[in-house]
Each structure stands twice: as structure tokens, then as C-alpha cells.
Amino acid sequence: MFHRESPLSAPHAASYYAASAQAVPERAPLAGSVECDICVVGAGIAGCSAALHLAERGFSVVLLEQHRIGWGASGRSGAQALPGVASGQAKLTKLIGPGAARAVWDISVDGLALMRELIARHRIDCDWVDGHLLTAVKPRHDRELRQELQALQEKLGYDSVRYMPRDEIQATLATRRYLGALYDCNGGHLHPLNYTLGLAAAAERAGVRIYEDTRALGFTSAHVRTPSGEIRARFLVLCGNAYLGNTAPALAAKVMAVGTHIIATEPLGAERAGRLIANNAAVSDMNWVLDYFRRSADHRLLFGGRVSYSALSSLEAPGATRARMLKVFPQLADARVDYSWGGYVDITLNRAPHFGRLTPNVYFLQGFSGHGIALTGIAGKLVAEAIAGQAERFDVLARIPHRDFPGGTLLRRPALVLAMLYYRLRDLL
């Protein structure tokens, strides 16, 4: 049967990740007034990483979360880790120039290394698996893959990726849908909620004070108001992304919440699951409205393939996502779907990450645009570097220009829906 997403007031979405999460204590909400060097708002990967790296530098840190650790996109995503940013290197180069764009690429690659380091150093049990496949659905995609491979190897010196021709990809994936692929041994996938919970536990061991069920209502400088208390800090780091909302209206204009949906099959058994994805890599295709999928540690198929720009939840999302799965793997027609859940990720207009400062002591990280599993962790480390006085890497990303979504609060979403129709039609060509 389908398990739909829990109400917003529930601890976590009723996802496969929540059902298989590590047991963790609930943290009490903030009551009263506390002081610290730095207050971090939002306990996803970015916020937990920022809090951890700041505490390791000797700062006293308070971390606020409106719901539970990993409640948002960090704890319910497709969980595919790969280098780069969602806008792509070509667009990024036009925005900030080749040197800065190359620096952003290097930071994203460092983000993958940081993930592996944090998992190992803090002994985070999150089912990390190496490998990512980017697949071509049509001949145009296959040509673009070959061009991408050349750019990665010749312009960026990235030698972890290779081209897989049609016969090899069809021997690796039990489907005839794909014409070729790029295989990146440096990418991978994991259990995102357990990874986020592990980062929070590491931050707590480093001295971070964590308060759940505590929304930041607003702030003046780094003085943060909550429903039952306040935090007086020297610096503030905002990591609420799509869920920050009225806490920081200036940031909300630069991002839009986009709905995504994922299903998880029943356990298929090691042999059957292994036949679906022989190398156990994470997989995503090149369509604008893309399919992405991977195997879980207990031999399920986790499949995402729904994107909603309308902000309207659809009761048909579970069935529609299952139908997309069966286009790729029709042999799963008899497989029961045990979990179905959705949530929001934040996108920027140019699909590049949005980092910066609202004032000299108020920093923000947002706009990962569905490309954040690895980038969020390194973002937290970069903001810690910047607050400690080493802002060079943070400022490279802060240079990326961003515009408000057009149309204001009433018309911006209908305008985006119309724009997305073009890309959906292009997927069919």
C-alpha cells in the first residue's frame, strides 16, 4: 500500500528513510534566552555541517530546527551525490567567468571528498555506495554526453568519469531505455536522513546546542526571536532554504519551492535488485523532468520521477511515479510499493546556488536546486571558514548573481509553470 507524506507538524515525512532511520533522541524546544557566538537556523545537511565545522573551530553554536533534524529536503531526497552545480559549468562560466567557475567546480569535488571524510571520521552509518550513472534517453542526449565527457576531462581535468556505450549500459541496467551513459566512480548515494542525523550527533559531541520544534520567527542583526525564547549571537547563519519563508523575505524572493516525489518498492531480494542495477550505482537520466533511481541497502528500488512547479499536491503522484518506474523497469509490475512521499526543494532562477551575506554578520546558504547532497556539506564548511576570517572560497560562490523570480508572489509560480511546459515538450523530442 502507499504511505503518504505526513502532515507538516509530524516529525518526518512517512518515507522509507524515516522508517529505516537510526534511533535518535528528541531535542527539547528552546525556552528562554541563550547566548552564543553563532546561531544556525535550519538543521538539514547545510545547517548541521555549518554547526559542526564552527564548533570544531572553537565557537559556541546554537542550532535551531523548526521540526526535527533532517525534516526537509536533506532527509527525504533522492540522495544522489555528484559534482558540479545544477546550472552546469557552461552557464556558470557566463555568470562569473572561467576562473571562478572552475573554482566552484573544484569546491564541489571537494564536497564529495568531505562527505566521505565526515562519514568515516564520525562513523556515520548511512549506507554509502560509490558510483553514479547519467543516462541518455535519446540520440541528442548521447551526443551531449560525449561533449560533456570531453569538457570534464579536457577543461576540468576530471578523470573519474568515463563513457559507457549502449551495450555496456544495457548489461548494467535491466532496461532497454538508455542509449549510453557517463559513469562517475567519484559520485555515489546514501541514506540521507541517517547521514544528516549523524552530522547532528557529531555537532552535538563537538558542543553544539540543538533545539528542535523551534522556529526562528525573525531576527534583528544576529538576535533571533523564537516562539518561546530568543538567541543573542554575534553571527547568524540561515540554512532554512525553501522552508525559511517569512523569516527572511529578501531571501524568499530568490528561491521557489518545487515539489518532488519518490516511491520505494517492497524488498526485492539481493538477486532481483542486483539484476536491475548490476553495479549498484545511483542513476539519473538527462530529461528536464528526469527519472532518478537507486537500490537501497535492503534491496528495494527507490524511484523518483515527479516534479511539481504548481505548489499543488497531487493525489495521483504515487501512481504516476510508479507508472514512470514501469517505463524503465516493466518487470517490476508485480512489485508492491511500500512507501511514497514527497517534499520541497528550493530552486533559483539560474539554478546556481545562492550564498551570501544580508549584513556583515548574517550569512545564508540556499538555492541548491536539487543538486545539494554533496554541495550542502561543503557549503557548511565554507561558511565556517568565512566567519573564521578565511572567506575566499565562500566569496567565490557569493559572487554568482541572482535575480528575483518574476511576477511577484501571485504570478511567479504560474509564469514558471508556463516556462516549464517548453522543457517538458522538449523532453518528448
pTM of the model as a whole: 0.92
Taking CA atoms, 368 is separated from 19, 122, 127, 242, 387, in Å, by 26, 25, 23, 10, 21
Q: Which of 88-92, 127-131, 292-296, 333-337 has the lowest mean pLDDT?
A: 88-92
What's the chain's average pLDDT? 90
| Angle between helix 372-387 and helix 45-56 axes, rounded to 10 deg | 30
pLDDT given for residue 152 in this prediction: 95
pLDDT at 163: 97
CB 23 within 8 A of CB 32: no
Which residues, 6+ apart, have CB-to-CB distance to 163 below 8 Å? 145, 146, 149, 180, 181, 182, 183
Looking at mean pLDDT, say which of 242-251, 291-300, 369-378 comes out highest: 291-300
Q: What is the mean pLDDT of residues 227-231?
A: 96
Do residues 393 and 399 touch, judged by C-beta distance below 8 A? Answer: no
Under CATH, domain 16-411 is a member of which superfamily?
FAD/NAD(P)-binding domain (3.50.50.60)
Burial class (CB in 10 A: 0-12, 13-18, 19+), 221: middle
- What radius of gyration, in Å, describes the C-alpha atoms of the chain? 21
Q: Per-residue pLDDT tens for 6-57? A: 333 347 888 999 999 999 988 999 999 999 999 999 999 999 999 999 999 9
